[in-house]
Structure 1
């Protein structure tokens, strides 16, 4: 960004006195003009309101981002602009011009405009990591797209092609449960609209966890300018879900859903590349710079729902697997925000650990059966690998000793499905994931 679009330590005092309107980028000027037309007095622009070269101010203010967007009157989305100089109001309506004969019978023309999903998915903002929580948390959003103005709130969404805001012209989000996998429908709208339903409270909570995992998949496919923002850019959403789930957040996962939260894998949509610096524990998806997926999870392999004697029952599917016992989760944040940048994260557990034997050909096997390991990064000459059973998830974590002689392990990959026979004679032991 240009100097005019940011606040830094050397420009802070001048900013506190005044900010000349004409010096601001076009998109900022348009946003100010629009805010004034709404009759509102205050406008938050991240790059102006946060001192960009102050890590202390950044940590302090980024921890408030969730509250800022969730309590805003309205969020302005410059959906058609690729940079801050292109503005908000560059709307183009390319309608065809057709010759009309004056004495011809009346003809009705119906103009077809791009649909909401098409306009939304073409926005440059959908590719940025920060905008996921900004959109999810905002009670109202106005999207200035190339073709039209889109509005969405917790209850409905509409475009300015509908000239009158009659109730029958709104697309009610309570009727959008069929779009459960649709990225253009906000996850929090699905929750607040009541479209996430189940015959039992525990199953509603399970669906909330599933929504979180879907958001994580979307989030990790987006772009971050600074890798250190991996946790801060999701902090506000994590706080919102902590209230919904009544659960403890742990480096992108949840304490009560930890076993399934660990079942992520590298997605084939991106090239794996290991960085020299990790911004997150080895067991967290946040360490990855490419898309991840929770496609290994088979929800019906964990629980099934059935009716017995008129009572709703929520029971484990396969009791032959032994789930690891989570003893303690330790998260050490770098700053004041426990959901922000981390210094370290450890999971202390008791589980079944199986040593993987490596053949001369270089592959790994159990009882002579070759294993297909999905490595988190490109395969490396790894030795002394172990397999940790994640119980009824039917998934196993591939681990490597962190330091010789210790019981600390780092995650290097995953195997699915696992077989319970592999672990039937294995005693549980205490270990730590770092």
Structure 2
């Protein structure tokens, strides 16, 4: 009976999809037919949200409501706005809007709206290193997109216009807007532009300082959700900032009875060592810290604390003893990191600074200041022929149409989109921002205030995007943790051994910390599905096919089944209604020091389930197949799997006769043909609940422990015959 109901549900859903598809096709045909007659560009839709097959209704809560029967009427009466999201648009087609056809002497594709976008791209994406025009003409993988919504700035997304060492398809955003003093309705030929707030050219201006204080006052007085944290924690040491530079000194708080309000600094060390506390200087710092010797970011943090009338400031290098020979104090304080940042009154994040010497308070770089463009609207407008339009680079990548999807934790955009600034590439700074009740980001383009209620930028007009979890759907704790790991691992760490301590504070704040064992970045209660992480696409720069992504573990380290063993970003592919086909017999990790969420030196899990011996074949650096020999002697159909980076092989076979291993130090090969084991973890129903497909780990022999196995990849979508022909077995993975 349940299968019958499922089938009826599938039929109903299929009928609904068919009806929606028919409506969509009708609108598409109508737009194609009317484009020449009405002069509406098939590429950019004249930068308007209406009269497109993908037009939808946008609500202030961020919900998209597809209006199948037209965009006029009740939806608009409720104050909703039309919106349109266009992705993967061709820059080659865009350039045709300003190319002259030699046969006719006219534009190859006459669209003044596309030419406006070209002018904006010229202003922001042509320099001595890269040019979007050259990249387009050389057939490089560049594209752009449009986020158009009535009453809001027009967001133009770009892919491949900027270079990012760690992202294959780096993205940058530009917003185009009108002056708030000029109502767009006066020029009906204008794109659908909304106003934006002023971006200060100098973050030390009185307006910027007022913005900081106004955000904090509003949060303190009007945000109940930001008062839920019980202020019971006192850091071991705090800097007293006072009112004068001569007041600066280090305080030890062991005798303090009551907590105090303090600011905490999140900054980038930049590969060097800023002014630091050591045992030799402890007594000197308690008497006085020389303000003139502070690096500029530290001075800026002192300035912010004083502006907010906070007497105390926490800076890691000055409040934790940094002796290289004795790590006792560092290990103890690292275990308290979650409390330091979560219970700070405010965290000051110096996002635009790559090192302590680069200040964040002062004049902004030219590339972040707005640029003005002339646009010719209809000749019969009240304003004349030319209208001034402004554009500027965005300091935060936009979620679809800025519907609030980026801001609340545990949404796909929150876990995926990178913010702009050197600090956002650093792994240590993730949890400092994630745990903060209030966070003041000094980004390259603007000052951004973020609390547990909303996010507010100095160059943004209200209403402000919500940051309250659960406003876009509830996510279970296991999935929450995977999103945290996904966001964290997209950042980089100078030392691989810091990977566990750098996310330990966030881990200790998870609900699982009260109900589950923490196992090298995974949780015992969801261990089998946690194991199914995958490495993000990693072939970004030439030569990386022979660059190991696995940390060297000759002297110990996170086990290969942990994402912490990989020096790269990881993701999880969602499994639909997963059913586990393996069981955990034992799981152990060894943690160094006093922090249970700290550095891991060893780990092993023992699993029971089905194991399929197979062969591996590499077709290229990013194309790998697994297959096995069937009873009749033929090979089954090859199945693609995702490797954990470059692979290598062992000369001697281990217990399972497998040769493959991770390519830690070579020899590497892109023509790998060797044997391995697939250990099946879970299965999911196919469409219509007929049949199943399986997912598992690709394993090889461990070079450190020949009787054990190591992970070399993950595999998904396996047909049922892989499971049926597998053998029951127990494996130990290290």
Query: TM-score, with normalisation over the residues of structure 2?
Result: 0.47
Distance 1:347 1:405, change over 3 A: closer
Residue aligning to 2:192: none
1:127 paired to 2:399: no
Moved more, 401-410 or 123-132: 401-410
8 Å CA contact 1:242, 1:249 repeated in 2:
no
Q: Residues 267-288 of structure 1, C-alpha deviation per residue, up to 9 Å, x if partnerless?
A: 2234451443363111011111
1:193 paired to 2:469: yes
Residue aligning to 2:559: 281
Distance 1:147 1:430, change over 3 A: closer
Tell me the distance in 1 between the aligned counterparts of 2:701 and 2:511: 32
1:389 paired to 2:680: yes
How far off is 1:407 after superposition? 5.5
Alignment equivalent of 1:262, drawn from 531, 544, 569 = 531
Alignment equivalent of 1:400, drawn from 700, 722, 731 = 700
Tell me the distance in 1 between the aligned counterparts of 2:703 and 2:443: 53
Secondary structure of the residue aligned to 2:683 is helix
Q: Residues 214-239 of structure 1, C-alpha deviation per residue, up to 9 Å, x if partnerless?
A: 33222222111111100000001111
1:336 paired to 2:636: no
1:423 paired to 2:723: yes
Residue aligning to 1:352: 610
Task: Determine which structure has greater relative contact order: mean sequence separation of CA pairs < 8 Å that are 6+ residues apart, divided by chain length.
Answer: 1
Alignment equivalent of 2:290, drawn from 20, 24, 27 = 20
Moved more, 221-230 or 144-153: 144-153
Distance 1:146 1:327, change over 3 A: same
Distance 1:33 1:351, change over 3 A: same
Residue aligning to 2:643: 375
**Superposition CA RMSD, Å:** 3.4
How far off is 1:301 after superposition? 4.8
How far off is 1:266 after superposition? 2.4
Q: Residues 103-151 of structure 1, C-alpha deviation per residue, up to 9 Å, x if partnerless?
A: x999998865554524972211110001111111000011123443211
1:290 paired to 2:552: no
Q: Residues 371-423 of structure 1, C-alpha deviation per residue, up to 9 Å, x if partnerless?
A: 54433231212551222111226222122244799753221222222223222
How far off is 1:33 after superposition? 2.1
8 Å CA contact 2:371, 2:392 repeated in 1:
no
Tell me the distance in 2 between the aligned counterparts of 1:262 and 1:105: 62
1:218 paired to 2:487: yes
8 Å CA contact 1:90, 1:146 repeated in 2:
no
Moved more, 284-293 or 406-415: 406-415
Distance 1:245 1:299, change over 3 A: farther
8 Å CA contact 2:497, 2:557 repeated in 1:
yes
How far off is 1:194 after superposition? 2.3
Alignment equivalent of 1:90, drawn from 341, 358, 362 = 362
Distance 1:89 1:424, change over 3 A: same
Alignment equivalent of 1:153, drawn from 430, 442, 451 = 451
Tell me the distance in 2 between the aligned counterparts of 1:109 and 1:68: 48
Tell me the distance in 2 between the aligned counterparts of 1:234 and 1:3: 21
How far off is 1:65 after superposition? 0.8
How far off is 1:77 after superposition? 1.2
8 Å CA contact 1:217, 1:292 repeated in 2:
yes
Residue aligning to 2:575: 299
Tell me the distance in 2 between the aligned counterparts of 1:111 and 1:97: 5
Residue aligning to 1:180: none
Residue aligning to 2:165: none
1:171 paired to 2:464: yes
Moved more, 106-115 or 384-393: 106-115
Residue aligning to 2:627: 365
8 Å CA contact 2:370, 2:392 repeated in 1:
no
8 Å CA contact 2:518, 2:524 repeated in 1:
yes
Secondary structure of the residue aligned to 1:171 is coil
Secondary structure of the residue aligned to 1:282 is coil
Q: What does 1:35-54 correspond to in 2, within 5 Å?
A: 35-52=305-322, 53=324, 54=326
8 Å CA contact 1:4, 1:23 repeated in 2:
no
Moved more, 22-31 or 420-429: 420-429
Gap regions ≥5 residues in structure 1: 99-103, 164-168, 174-188, 199-203, 303-315, 317-321
Larger Cα-atom Rg: 2
Tell me the distance in 2 between the aligned counterparts of 1:108 and 1:418: 58
How far off is 1:3 after superposition? 6.0
8 Å CA contact 1:230, 1:279 repeated in 2:
no
Tell me the distance in 1 between the aligned counterparts of 2:421 and 2:342: 22
Query: TM-score, with normalisation over the residues of structure 1?
Result: 0.77
